[in-house]
Amino acid sequence: MPRKLIEELEDLEEQAIESAPYLASDERGSNYRESIDLVQKELAVPTNTNVAEISKPIKLDQQNVKPWVHFVAGGLGGMTGAIATCPFDLIKTRLQSDEYRTIYKSKATTTLPRSNFKLINLSVNAGVHFKETLGIIGKIYQQEGFRSLFKGLGPNLVGVIPARSINFFTYGTTKELYTRIYGNGKESPLIHFMAAATAGWATATATNPIWLIKTRLQLDKFGNSRKYTNSWDCTKKVVRSEGILSLYKGLSASYLGSVEGILQWLLYEQFKKVISQRSSQKFGAEENTRSNKIKEWCQRSGGAGLAKFVASIITYPHEVVRTRLRQAPMENGKLKYSGLIQSFKVIIKEEGFASMYSGLTPHLMRTVPNSIIMFGTWELFIKLLS
């Protein structure tokens, strides 16, 4: 064999030995890349995603929750909150009504000494309203009995359970839909706004007749002057005397009231984002123990209550107008309140702007803990059912 050929073969052998590790590395890299591609395909991860990001732990709120879970969890949360806070809802409705305003007239601005500091006046008045609210609960208990504190709870639950189910279901479903269509897979305040608006309008339209019946029952006087015996009797009499469309009285105010729900959802999502970021920075993925998760859940529930408090303060006047429209009082043979704008004008002209916040104290005493209970229960059942 020629010496030159032998040298070439030896040279090729050396090159093969040197390149063997790289060939194996390429094979392993190819297999690794194929496995990563498979994971990305299964998890629907974009192909341009950093490989290191795939190994990060996935949080529950980032997963797609099934729509029926939102529906069931929302209904259970709404039911729990409604039962716990029903007496405050009764008082709020009565204070919003012009029939009961004279009976439960507040002394906060008439008998108290005035201060030059507005903050002091507000604090003193808030304390008086709180005391009077508890006093009204005592009066109702003494005069009408314990069961009267839960008057309207039946139609309230009949309204709350589907209302909260529809609201949470619509919000969760449309948020996911809008995020996919308009947000390129990323949530934003605009996405939250659109989802909250859709949920608010759908809920108001579906449940307005139930809330009208609940309002009429809560305003029904005790004793011989009582008009309605139960929810079904109230529904029949309203439809017979006022027509089926009367079940949608106050719907325009309810649509206006959906602004409150929109604000609450927007604030809640922002609070939840801040709480999650602080929790991640403080504990990280590995150190986030069960006790820390419970603390975070309590913080999110508290954030829901704070969001409701702010939203209620801003949008409360619509509650008074809606109650008056559903109450449907007569004056000179005609309806006293015939529309949204007309109701605002009449109430402010006859009773002053402060009357637009009648019943605010029991409303806050009901809605803030109600939101804490409702959103906390909703999140809890989402984790249990997911």
For 68, 84, 269, the CA distances from 312, given in Å and listed in that order, are 29, 19, 17
- DSSP structure string for 343-386: HHHHHHHHH-GGGGGTTHHHHHHHHHHHHHHHHHHHHHHHHHH-
pLDDT at 58: 40
Domain at 85, CATH number: 1.50.40.10
pLDDT at 3: 63
Dist. CA 357–CA 319, nearest whole Å: 9
For residues 183 and 124, state if they share a domain. yes
Q: How many domains does the chain have?
A: 2
For residues 281 and 336, state if they share a domain. yes
* 296, 279 Cβ separation under 8 angstroms: yes
* 355, 348 Cβ separation under 8 angstroms: yes
* Nearest residue to 170 via CA among 103, 261, 100: 261
Dist. CA 41–CA 349, nearest whole Å: 65
For residues 40 and 181, state if they share a domain. no
For residues 134 and 156, state if they share a domain. yes
pLDDT averaged per 10 residues, the chain (length 386)? 62 60 46 50 52 44 72 91 85 70 56 51 64 79 82 79 92 93 90 94 90 82 72 90 88 84 94 86 65 87 93 88 79 82 89 83 84 91 84
Exposure on the CB side of residue 171, measured as CA atoms within 13 A:
26
Domain-terminating residue out of 18, 33, 56: 56
For residues 153 and 25, state if they share a domain. no
Listed in sequence order, the DSSP H helices in the chain are 3-43, 51-54, 67-84, 86-96, 98-101, 118-144, 153-181, 189-219, 231-242, 251-283, 290-315, 317-327, 340-351, 360-385
For residues 28 and 83, state if they share a domain. no
For residues 210 and 340, state if they share a domain. yes
**Angle subtended at Cα 244 by Cα 240 and Cα 245, rounded to the nearest 5 degrees:** 135
For residues 29 and 171, state if they share a domain. no
For residues 142 and 35, state if they share a domain. no
pLDDT at 25: 45
pLDDT at 121: 60
For residues 133 and 25, state if they share a domain. no
For residues 77 and 47, state if they share a domain. no
* Nearest residue to 154 via CA among 210, 71, 208, 205: 210
* 330, 95 Cβ separation under 8 angstroms: no
Tokens of 307: 């969001």
Domain of 254 in residue numbering reads as 60-385
For residues 133 and 168, state if they share a domain. yes
* 250, 293 Cβ separation under 8 angstroms: no
